[in-house]
Structure 1
């Protein structure tokens, strides 16, 4: 009913609303004075000359209210700070009344200003709170009912922000602290999870908002596991660091990411390991615009090199990372030269010129073709880029007397079943042979699994499929992978390179492997959806389908990080060294000569045989699926093993 009265007022201009407030307060001041006189005399027959006091009290009170900003405050956002302004104004009003009474000798008892103060404070403050609540109740009608997980300071701030939100209507707090359970905070009950979960369906809870910005990933995983059985969307506050430095606000909720659940709480970097190969040096990152390359660049900037050279064959990727880092250097007022170089690592002349021109001291070699199905369909280019590109860069590094060369490798190089993994194992062999043949440049390799959120990885694909309504596609129910966040991987790569002695194969501790199908199920549930498998008898009983599509060419069910079982520890708890077979430089060059000849003739079958003969552990999982090569009989005009494609 109250909102029905206020509805026409809500559409008026700000000036009109202020005028109404002033008029309303004028009536309240006069009414409260009259009521105070009646309460003091206990009857309505008091001396009419008493009303003269309003000639000074009214304008003085309205003036103080205005100066204290009471008429600038929006009624529906009326706060406790505004209530203080009301108290100051009312106290001043009572003081003016007492002074006027004594000065003019008006027939007003001394106790009336005291009664007047109490009545006016309750009237002005109380009516505004009543109007705020009336606006609030109407705004809540069409908002999504939610629960806030965490009744601490962040949860209370979130509740205050949501009270003025057009989107969410908080109904309860959930907290694991038993001392808070059973209490009421700002009108909302605090419940244990088990008690709250029973109320989800009854209250129509559509989302749970995690107000625990300082919690660890392990703690969040425990909560998500509890919520997994409920078809509710899960959102979270920004991290505490972002809240403190002003990058985010308490009201900025976002969908919780699978990265936050799978990623571990990182071990703090060792400062001298982060700085050793970078501080004050000229550093080159190949593949600088890629997922790992770009994060390496960000963390390298933090260590303040003298110069950072960004090399990438993709113009757009190079432009993007150069633009981002340029802004970062400007914002931090850093004295770092940033150099963007467009080039393929296969361009021998340009690579040599780059190393010499910029006097490179440390190289992080992240440039590679990494997507298994694409390399399976483009084998020759995969070998040329990943193997011969590494050899060209390594030779140039030795010639230019580069101090450190760190190769970014992969778990797919271990007993590979595909050409991509095999090419990365060959790249490792290149670096191992180069390390053994000279002492000018210190070569090392860092091997790790999948990084969360990298280009072409499973998580961005799942996200797009969920947003499109499904189905979510998984190649096999049993397929699993190791996962690590991009920032953690980059930091460990930098630290591993600093521990290198020459020819080291470093292996990062990736934790436990994760089943991809479990990831798909969890991502669906994080979006408030109930997943189901298309090939089950219960097909169609959920919100979004999971479709099993079958393994792709060269794809393994399980990935490994070690060929042997003899890793050694290092100074860092998450970095190990592996002891792998290697080739001498002469053996390597003989193998590379044969590989190059096979590449030039597009003889993929010969490439496969040569790689299998090397200490790569290569065991192809299927037939050759290269798009160019064909085992068909050659004709007189077409070189052997070339398949002519008409466009």
Structure 2
């Protein structure tokens, strides 16, 4: 081994041209060896050189090498010999065999029988394939693992189908991993082998851990629904192993699978709720062929709204954003996406705030948008709680200026992006968003040409401040995971779902409605934290296991935070044309009363007075604050 590894290291460092030359010389030697073996089989005499051998070699050697070169056999990366390389070899040998048979049929050589001409390519193919497999073993397994100095992780692949087998080839080329088994739910496969790797049932995971010190399970069934994936995750969560997954099939760009596609489980995999299907008629109603304006275009929801609007097919997309870099980033991304469109959407970026009435009026009066999505808002609860006047200025009066500009310009549809925190709000952020809803509701009752509506949803996965990336960073750092309170529950949805809900609600709106999504059951955040720890291959440190890896630390509710979130103020949601979208009409204020309250709020001089006036505007906010004071 002391001699072999340095020799392999030397060969691996050679230029590609030198490596190709070595492979070609090796194939030439194997061609000659195949001729000797073919004659030995046919005449049962081992002869290394005679006239028949010379005649066959003089034809087969140049013919095979030229054929292999033209067919790309020597362009393949030698160390990654696999199914693709074998296909190329078989094609090359098929053509070589036909050419060789054709030559000897046309120019018959009496000393070389037809059986030998047919037998030599078969033996030659076997020898060349064996050389590629040996080369792969030497350069990947022997040299790669000889170079590797880290800890080797022992891996099982869940799913013995096509994706699992593709992934296995990639896993086996990684020196830091050792594949010991497939796991599959099909009982007909149990006890079988694929390329020497056994197929086990999920009941045998404990045995794999004990026998092979299994550390990782890779889910390789891209076609799985989220509910089926959740069932598998629940079964594996009881074992001390790190569970990762391939994306779903629609996320795999080319259908080919490799280790680079493997990712950690997202909360979508843990929730088990299937994504809400889009109604394309509703998506198109307020977007296709129209001028669409999005405020807060660089935010988590605003940017996804822009992507979907571009995808659906707006004629012109107006971006309003007060953060320069966020506007630059979404504008550049959208222009790149628009370049691939047949009917290219015109994209117009505007740097400015929704609190700037003059700027909003200029945009709306000059570009005359048909649809306006109002997503601009300050949303981080603790920051907004500490800066109530700025939150009121942006979330409340920014919404008021947006509504006035929309009415003045005759915008057909105006949709507010709201939040479940607006329902019986316990914090300034929720109260400002409920105030924004009141502005939209009051505007809807004025009888103007603009249709005003609102959309509420829960926590958005992947948005800035989302809990899952935070927990993942805390686990990677060795803990602890911090929870505000162990009883906290939240609704969750994905950013694309949220954006599509907003656009579809615009198609459903008749004026003044609050639209909500059927988001399934709320998730207990402590359960989510425990599941993420276990699926990282670690254990929870608690009273039952004081030597566990990651502790869960309760730090107390933040100012204004609630244990439970709600989506409706009332209890009578009505169905809509979309089976997963519901509608409610909730209490509102007349426009005159609302503007009077807002005038008083705008002229206040202190944070304390501002919050007090916000409580008067949103009585549920005052009620929740009293409840919190009583409970504390």
Q: Same fold (TM over 0.5)?
A: yes
* Structure 2 residue 575 is the aligned partner of structure 1 residue 575: no
- Asked whether the 8 Å contact 2:93–2:121 carries over to 1, the reply is no
* Structure 2 residue 602 is the aligned partner of structure 1 residue 602: no
Show the 5 A alignment for 1:531-610.
Answer: 531-533=540-542, 536=543, 538-539=545-546, 541-598=547-604, 601-605=605-609, 607-608=611-612
Task: Determine the C-alpha separation between the residues in 2 that align with 1:282 and 1:370.
Answer: 27
Q: Which string of whole-angstrom CA distances, capped at 9 and with x for unpartnered residues, describes residues 148-181 of structure 1?
A: 1111121122223333334433221111122222
2:194 alignment partner, one of 177, 181, 185: 185
Partner of 1:235 in structure 2? 244
Task: Determine the C-alpha separation between the residues in 2 that align with 1:21 and 1:389.
Answer: 70
Q: CA deviation at 1:134?
A: 4.2
Task: Determine the C-alpha separation between the residues in 2 that align with 1:619 and 1:554.
Answer: 12
For 1:489, what is the secondary structure of its paired residue? helix
How many correspondences in the alignment? 613
Partner of 1:60 in structure 2? 59
Q: Which string of whole-angstrom CA distances, capped at 9 and with x for unpartnered residues, describes residues 304-332 of structure 1?
A: 22221111111111111111111111122
* Structure 2 residue 443 is the aligned partner of structure 1 residue 437: no
Show the 5 A alignment for 1:87-486.
Answer: 89=96, 103=109, 106=111, 119-138=123-142, 139=144, 143-243=152-252, 245-246=253-254, 249-251=257-259, 252-262=261-271, 264-486=273-495
Q: Which string of whole-angstrom CA distances, capped at 9 and with x for unpartnered residues, describes residues 434-482 of structure 1?
A: 1112232111111111111111222232233233332221111111111
Q: CA deviation at 1:99?
A: 8.6
- Asked whether the 8 Å contact 2:226–2:268 carries over to 1, the reply is no
Task: Determine the C-alpha separation between the residues in 2 that align with 1:297 and 1:40.
Answer: 73
Q: From the superposition, tell whether residues 431 and 65 of structure 1 become closer, same or farther in structure 2 (CA, over 3 Å).
A: same
Q: From the superposition, tell whether residues 116 and 276 of structure 1 become closer, same or farther in structure 2 (CA, over 3 Å).
A: closer
Q: From the superposition, tell whether residues 356 and 200 of structure 1 become closer, same or farther in structure 2 (CA, over 3 Å).
A: same
For 2:421, what is the secondary structure of its paired residue? helix
Q: Which string of whole-angstrom CA distances, capped at 9 and with x for unpartnered residues, describes residues 535-594 of structure 1?
A: x4744x222232211111111111111112122111111211223211112211221122
Q: CA deviation at 1:373?
A: 0.9
- Asked whether the 8 Å contact 1:95–1:113 carries over to 2, the reply is no
- Asked whether the 8 Å contact 1:465–1:471 carries over to 2, the reply is yes
Q: CA deviation at 1:378?
A: 0.7
Task: Determine the C-alpha separation between the residues in 2 that align with 1:334 and 1:304.
Answer: 8
* 5+ residue gaps, structure 1: 626-647
For 1:619, what is the secondary structure of its paired residue? helix
Task: Determine the C-alpha separation between the residues in 1 that align with 2:384 and 2:28.
Answer: 81
Q: From the superposition, tell whether residues 189 and 586 of structure 1 become closer, same or farther in structure 2 (CA, over 3 Å).
A: same
- Asked whether the 8 Å contact 1:242–1:248 carries over to 2, the reply is no
For 1:444, what is the secondary structure of its paired residue? strand
Show the 5 A alignment for 1:515-530.
Answer: 515-530=524-539
Q: CA deviation at 1:297?
A: 0.9
- Asked whether the 8 Å contact 1:87–1:121 carries over to 2, the reply is no
- Asked whether the 8 Å contact 1:175–1:192 carries over to 2, the reply is yes
- Asked whether the 8 Å contact 2:34–2:120 carries over to 1, the reply is yes
Task: Determine the C-alpha separation between the residues in 2 that align with 1:150 and 1:519.
Answer: 25
Task: Determine the C-alpha separation between the residues in 2 that align with 1:321 and 1:285.
Answer: 12
For 1:498, what is the secondary structure of its paired residue? helix
Q: CA deviation at 1:249?
A: 4.6
Partner of 1:502 in structure 2? 511
Partner of 2:50 in structure 1? 51
Q: Which string of whole-angstrom CA distances, capped at 9 and with x for unpartnered residues, describes residues 214-252 of structure 1?
A: 111111111111111222222222331233x53875442
* 5+ residue gaps, structure 2: none
Q: What TM-score, normalized to structure 2?
A: 0.88
- Asked whether the 8 Å contact 1:57–1:97 carries over to 2, the reply is no
For 1:265, what is the secondary structure of its paired residue? coil
For 1:267, what is the secondary structure of its paired residue? coil
Task: Determine the C-alpha separation between the residues in 1 that align with 2:628 and 2:45.
Answer: 105
- Asked whether the 8 Å contact 2:426–2:562 carries over to 1, the reply is yes
For 1:554, what is the secondary structure of its paired residue? coil
Q: From the superposition, tell whether residues 304 and 34 of structure 1 become closer, same or farther in structure 2 (CA, over 3 Å).
A: closer
For 2:187, what is the secondary structure of its paired residue? coil
Q: What TM-score, normalized to structure 1?
A: 0.86
Task: Determine the C-alpha separation between the residues in 2 that align with 1:362 and 1:53.
Answer: 84
- Asked whether the 8 Å contact 2:288–2:315 carries over to 1, the reply is yes
For 2:485, what is the secondary structure of its paired residue? coil
Give 1 or 2: higher helix fraction. Answer: 2
Q: Which string of whole-angstrom CA distances, capped at 9 and with x for unpartnered residues, describes residues 70-98 of structure 1?
A: 55555444442354235654676688789
Task: Determine the C-alpha separation between the residues in 2 that align with 1:29 and 1:406.
Answer: 74
* Structure 2 residue 520 is the aligned partner of structure 1 residue 511: yes
For 1:189, what is the secondary structure of its paired residue? strand
Show the 5 A alignment for 1:67-82.
Answer: 67=66, 68-69=68-69, 70-78=73-81, 79-82=85-88
- Asked whether the 8 Å contact 2:159–2:220 carries over to 1, the reply is yes
